[in-house]
């Protein structure tokens, strides 16, 4: 039966595919695909874990005292019986054989299917037996975890083309997905995703938009209403999830998919054109990347350099083992060399808040992590780690132009400590005779204190980059990862726009470079406004670059005269911005 689930639209577009559920469990479950040749080995892992749990339960039965209640022994017998149920064992193996799930995911998927059946039972006693199934599954998951902890991969392996013989596209349905796991979507089999929690401004939603993956978040009860392998439509424009759609609805959305692809193809033709306004003003378009391999997408999109290399993604999904100086150097060098002489801006590690390291446990988090030990504060609190990163960046600068960007700096003492750390790292390299290059030093403006004391910043830094995502949340005192207040996150807020406009104006007056690398840079609704503020350098995910370039090519700066004043003076800046945008028709070069 077809049904609709409503959530929040966070990434535009339409995705159609079979549902893959990441089931919730009290035990952490690794979700990834195995290669076809690994299926037999994975089934053997599952069988070995089942035998181990059976042996543990039998041992427990042997150890019980004579005065132990008979009900407890009977319960152990029930668990052994469930483990040895051939029908359920075969069904679990089927997830591995047909969908290429790893053993843990197969157990979780089968548990999800079974618990649904128990929930639908009318007999109360039988419904209560669901807990027995859950306990057995958790024992099995713990056994798999003990046996294979050392080589457990992240949530999804890259490079797997498909998991079904019929090559059906897949969409992911989960309670939530971490930002680090979201990065696994690059090149993965998933066409879109649905989560039960999250808001428009959570980091996960931002990553989804940057990767151009249709997504809906905050779709409550999605995991309960969607079943494994259901056909699902994700309408990322409307925040709608359609489960088991009718043929007519399916065809309508497939038509919308084709229209979206045609629009992307048209934008692709602009790749080789410089970003110049209709009246001849050149605008620099840079790319945000997470890993060295992303440089190929940046170049393919026509980026003129990397405006933000988020180095923290080198530190994630590593089971607590941080990359050493040499590993970082090789990663930065690869990115610099791949950009073929174009500048690469490397941001020092921005860990904390909604981007914790694996080695950080729940006990390491403060009550409000967004205001805790994160970004440059975390780096300065770990001098050895920070020195290793600075040395690696300085060494990579031998291979091409490198800009070093410091995140979330807000206090004069942090400026002094950061500059001292850079000079210490440089001094040690000189003393060792280790080759290194010159870097231009920049600061991210993402805390109101930094924006308000910008003249002091500009005395020490060569350039500034405005991180609008955090600047908005700190200006408005809103944790963008908190659903309860996410609706108050407003990039059009007059205070936010005033801080951005003043930062651009003061940086340009001082002769220092200024760019915007936050999400606003990749949002076409803000292109004209930012241009009217004087911004001439935008940095965004490569997938967003063609649409922003199209907007720039269609803009006449003369027509924006007065727009900045109107927007900054308005109670509703968004409405004030609309009359100033004058689309123009420009010739689009035909494909060769």
Catalytic residue numbers, as ranges = 203, 517
- Which residues share a beta bridge with 289? 309
For tokens 């989560």, the residue is 195
For residues 202 and 11, is the Cβ–Cβ distance under 8 A? no
347 is in an annotated binding site: yes
**Rounded alpha-carbon distances, angstroms, from residue 57 to 35, 105, 130, 132, 206:** 32, 23, 19, 13, 46
327 is in an annotated binding site: no
- Which residues share a beta bridge with 171? 19, 192
Crossing angle (nearest 10°) for helices 39-63 and 130-148: 110
Task: Please list, in sequence order, all residues whose beta carbon lies within 8 angstroms of the beta carbon of residue 533, skipping any fewer than 6 positions away.
Answer: 500, 501, 504, 505, 564
99 is in an annotated binding site: no
CB burial readout 246-278, b (16+ within 10 A) else e: eeeebeebeebbeebeeeeeebeebeebebebb
Residue 581: strand, helix, or coil: coil
Residue 216 CA to residue 473 CA, distance in Å, equals: 21
Query: DSSP letter at 445?
Result: E
What are the structure tokens assigned to 173, written together? Answer: 């349905």
547 is in an annotated binding site: no
For residues 518 and 466, is the Cβ–Cβ distance under 8 A? yes
CA-wise closest residue to 519 among 494, 495, 498, 489: 489
Residue 491 CA to residue 166 CA, distance in Å, equals: 44
Q: What number of other Cβ atoms are within 10 A of residue 499's Cβ?
A: 22
CA torsion through residues 83, 87, 90, 91, sign: negative
469 is in an annotated binding site: yes
What are the structure tokens assigned to 97, written together? Answer: 């054989």
For residues 27 and 266, is the Cβ–Cβ distance under 8 A? no
Residue 560 CA to residue 540 CA, distance in Å, equals: 23
Judged on CB neighbours under 10 Å (0-12, 13-18, 19+), 451 is: buried
Q: What contacts 24+ positions apart, CB below 8 Å, involve 67-75? A: 75/132
- Which residues share a beta bridge with 190? 170
**Rounded alpha-carbon distances, angstroms, from residue 545 to 126, 185, 282, 288, 538:** 56, 19, 15, 10, 9
CA-wise closest residue to 406 among 384, 380, 426, 371: 380
Q: Binding site for Mg(2+): which residues?
A: 446, 470
Residue set of the binding site: 310, 347, 446, 469-470, 480
Name the binding residues for phosphoenolpyruvate.
310, 347, 469-470, 480
């Amino acid at each position: 039966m077809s049904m609709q689930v409503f959530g929040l639209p966070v990434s535009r577009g339409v995705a159609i595919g079979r549902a893959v559920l990441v089931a919730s469990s009290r035990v952490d479950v690794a979700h990834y695909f195995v290669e076809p040749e690994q299926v037999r080995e994975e089934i053997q892992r599952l069988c070995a874990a089942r035998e181990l749990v059976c042996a543990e339960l039998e041992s427990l039965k042997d150890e019980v005292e004579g005065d132990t209640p008979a009900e407890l022994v009977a319960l152990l017998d029930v668990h052994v019986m469930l483990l040895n149920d051939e029908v359920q064992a075969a069904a679990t193996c089927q997830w591995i054989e047909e969908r290429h799930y790893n053993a843990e995911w197969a157990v979780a998927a089968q548990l999800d299917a079974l618990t649904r059946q128990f929930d639908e039972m009318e007999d109360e006693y039988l419904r209560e037996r669901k807990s027995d199934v859950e306990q057995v599954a958790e024992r099995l998951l713990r056994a798999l975890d003990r046996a294979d902890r050392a080589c457990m991969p992240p949530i999804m392996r890259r490079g797997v083309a498909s998991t079904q013989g019929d090559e059906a596209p897949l969409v992911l349905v989960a309670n939530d997905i971490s930002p680090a796991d979201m990065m696994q979507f690059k090149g993965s089999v998933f066409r879109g995703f649905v989560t039960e929690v999250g808001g428009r401004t959570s980091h996960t939603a931002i990553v989804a938009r940057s990767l151009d993956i249709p997504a809906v978040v905050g779709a409550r009860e999605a995991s309960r209403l969607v079943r494994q392998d259901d056909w699902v439509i994700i309408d990322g424009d409307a925040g709608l999830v359609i489960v088991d759609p009718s043929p007519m609805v399916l065809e309508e959305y497939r038509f919308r998919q084709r229209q979206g692809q045609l629009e992307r193809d048209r934008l692709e033709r602009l790749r080789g054109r410089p970003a110049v306004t209709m009246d001849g003003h050149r605008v620099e378009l840079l790319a945000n990347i997470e890993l060295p391999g992303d440089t190929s997408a940046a170049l393919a999109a026509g980026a003129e350099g990397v405006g933000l290399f988020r180095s923290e993604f080198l530190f994630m999904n590593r089971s607590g083992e941080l990359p050493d100086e040499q590993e970082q150097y090789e990663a930065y060098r690869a990115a610099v060399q791949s950009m073929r002489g174009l500048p690469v801006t490397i941001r020092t590690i921005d860990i904390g808040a909604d981007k914790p390291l694996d080695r950080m446990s729940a006990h390491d988090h403060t009550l409000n992590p967004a205001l805790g030990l994160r970004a440059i504060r975390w780096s300065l609190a770990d001098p050895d780690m920070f020195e290793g990163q600075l040395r690696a960046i300085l060494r990579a600068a031998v291979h091409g132009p490198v800009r070093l960007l410091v995140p979330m700096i807000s206090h004069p003492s942090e400026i002094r400590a950061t500059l001292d750390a850079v000079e210490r790292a440089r001094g040690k390299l000189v003393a060792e005779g280790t080759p290194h290059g010159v870097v231009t030093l920049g600061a991210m403006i993402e805390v109101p204190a930094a924006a308000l004391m910008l003249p002091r910043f500009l005395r020490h830094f060569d350039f500034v980059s405005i991180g609008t995502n955090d600047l908005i949340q700190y200006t408005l005192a809103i944790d963008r990862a908190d659903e309860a207040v996410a609706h108050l996150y407003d990039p059009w807020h007059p205070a936010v726009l005033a801080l951005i406009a003043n930062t651009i104006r003061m940086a340009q007056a001082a002769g220092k470079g200024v760019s915007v690398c936050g999400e606003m840079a990749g949002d076409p609704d803000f292109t004209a406004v930012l241009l009217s503020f004087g911004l001439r350098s935008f940095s965004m995910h490569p997938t967003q670059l063609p649409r922003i370039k199209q907007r720039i090519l269609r803009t006449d700066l003369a027509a924006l005269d007065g727009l900045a004043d109107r927007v900054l003076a308005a109670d509703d800046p968004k409405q004030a911005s609309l009359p100033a945008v004058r689309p123009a028709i420009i010739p689009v070069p035909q494909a060769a």
